[in-house]
Structure 1
Amino acid sequence: MSVRILALVGSLRAGSHNRQLAEAAVKHAPEGARIELFDGLADVPFYNEDLDVEGSVPAAAARLREAAASADALLLFSPEYNGTMPAVLKNAIDWLSRPYGAGALVGKPVAVVGTAFGQYGGVWAQDEARKAAGIAGAKVLEDVKLSVPGSVTRFAETHPADDTEVVEQLSAVLAAVQGRAGEAAAA
C-alpha cells in the first residue's frame, strides 16, 4: 500500500528553510510513501464563514481541502514568528477544520516539524500548530517531532537534504508518519 502524505509549509519566503526541509522530505521519502508538497497557501484567503458557503468556496481553499482530504496523513512545516506559528499555516488549519466535525483533518494523522533561527528550532510554534490541528480534529502525532535550531547559520551553505543529521532525523519522522497513516488506513 502506498501512503500519500501532504506537506504544508508555513513560510511563503522563496528561500525558506522550512520549504527546504519539506523538499528534503520529498527527496528522502521512504519506499511506499509519496510526499506531495502543496503549493498555493498564499492564494488561500483568510478564513471567513461568509466565504465558506457550499458551492462558492474560493478555488484556492477548495483545492487545499481536496488535497488534504485525499491524503493519508499531513506533515506541517512551521517556522516560528513571534513565538507562534505563521498566519498562513493557521489559516490553512482553519480552512481544513470546516465544516465543523467533518473537515479534511478529522481523524487524519498529522505531524508537525520545522526549523527556526532560535536555539529551540521553533518548538513554541510547532506546539501551537499541534494544538490547532488537534482541535480541528486531526490525530496529532505528539511523539513525532523535529525542531532544528539555528536555521540561518546551519543552512547558510547546506540544504537540509544534504545535512546528514537532519536527514537521519527527518527519515525517522517520515517513517513514523508513514506507519501511522498505514495503521489509520487499515483501521
Structure 2
Amino acid sequence: MSQKNIAVVVGSIRKESFNRQFAEALVKQLPANMKATFVRIDDLPLYDQDDDSNPAPQVTRLRDEIKAADGVLFVTPEYNRSMPGVLKNAIDHASRPWGKSVWNGKPAAVCGVSVGAIGTALAQQHLRNVIAYLNMPTLGAPEMFIQWKEGLVENGAIGPASKDFVQKFVDDFAAWVNKLSA
C-alpha cells in the first residue's frame, strides 16, 4: 500500500492548545502507511477576494500543502458554538479563487476536544456544513466529541482510558482515505 499524506489542520493557534496536543497524540496512532503533515494557519492574512490573483506566500504554501494531501484531518476547538475564525479563514483561502478549490474531493474527518461536556459537537457540525459544500467526502462515523480531562493525553500519547476509542476513529479514517484516494 502506498504512503498517504494526511494534512492535519488544527483550528486553534493557542500556544498550549488542547486540540494541538490531542492532534499530535492522535496522529501517533495512524497506520504505518500514513504520514501526518501539520498545516500552519496562524500566519495567514485575512481572506480578501482582491488578493486571489496575487496570493501571499503563506496562502500559496497552504494551498500546496493541501494539494499534496491524500486526506485531511480537521481538529477543531469550539468558539461561541462554532469553529474558530482562524480555521474558517484557512478554509476560505484554500477554496479560492472560485473554481480552484484545493479541498475538492479530499477525504476528510472532523474531531476536536473542549473543556465543555459536549466537546466540540456544534463546531464540528458547522465545519461539516462548510466542507460538504467544498465537496470533501467526510467520515460520518464514528463521531468524536471529546471533553478535555486530565489523562486524555499523557506524555504525548492518548491516555489508556481513551486509546481504544480514538483508535477506532483513526482506523475508520485511515480506511476512508485509503478507499477514496486509491
Secondary structure of 1:145's aligned partner:
coil
Quick one: which amino acid aligns to residue 170 of structure 2? Answer: L
Q: Which runs of 4+ in 1 moved over 6 A?
A: none
- Partner residue, 2:128: 130
In structure 1, C-alpha distance between the alignment counterparts of 2:154 and 2:34, rounded to whole Å: 25
* More displaced 10-residue stretch of structure 1: 22-31 or 64-73: 22-31
- Partner residue, 1:49: 49
TM-align CA RMSD: 1.8
Q: Is the 8 A contact 1:112 1:144 kept in 2?
A: no
In structure 1, C-alpha distance between the alignment counterparts of 2:106 and 2:97, rounded to whole Å: 15
In structure 2, C-alpha distance between the alignment counterparts of 1:157 and 1:113, rounded to whole Å: 15
Shift of 1:157: 8.0
Structure 1 length-normalised TM: 0.89
Shift of 1:59: 0.8
Shift of 1:155: 5.2
Secondary structure of 2:140's aligned partner:
strand
Equivalent residues in 2 for 1:54-69, closer than 5 Å:
56-69=54-67
Q: Is the 8 A contact 1:96 1:136 kept in 2?
A: no
In structure 2, C-alpha distance between the alignment counterparts of 1:87 and 1:74, rounded to whole Å: 18
- Structure 1 position 35 matched with structure 2 position 33: no
In structure 1, C-alpha distance between the alignment counterparts of 2:168 and 2:142, rounded to whole Å: 9
Which runs of 5 or more residues in structure 2 are unaligned?
A: none
- Partner residue, 1:145: 143
- Partner residue, 2:177: 181
Secondary structure of 2:169's aligned partner:
helix
Which of 76, 88, 91 is the aligned partner of 1:90? 88
Shift of 1:52: 1.4
Q: Is the 8 A contact 2:22 2:153 kept in 1?
A: no
Shift of 1:159: 5.3
Structure 2 length-normalised TM: 0.91
Q: Is the 8 A contact 2:7 2:72 kept in 1?
A: yes
Q: Is the 8 A contact 1:26 1:36 kept in 2?
A: no
Which runs of 5 or more residues in structure 1 are unaligned?
A: none
Quick one: percent identity of the two aligned structures? 31
Quick one: which amino acid aligns to residue 26 of structure 2? Answer: A
Q: Aligned pair in 2 of structure 1 residues 62, 157: CA closer, same or farther (>3 Å)?
A: closer
- Partner residue, 1:26: 27
Could you report, residue by residue, the CA deviation over 1:53-93 in whole angstroms, capped at 9, with x for unpaired residues?
A: 1xx21111111111011100000001111111000111111
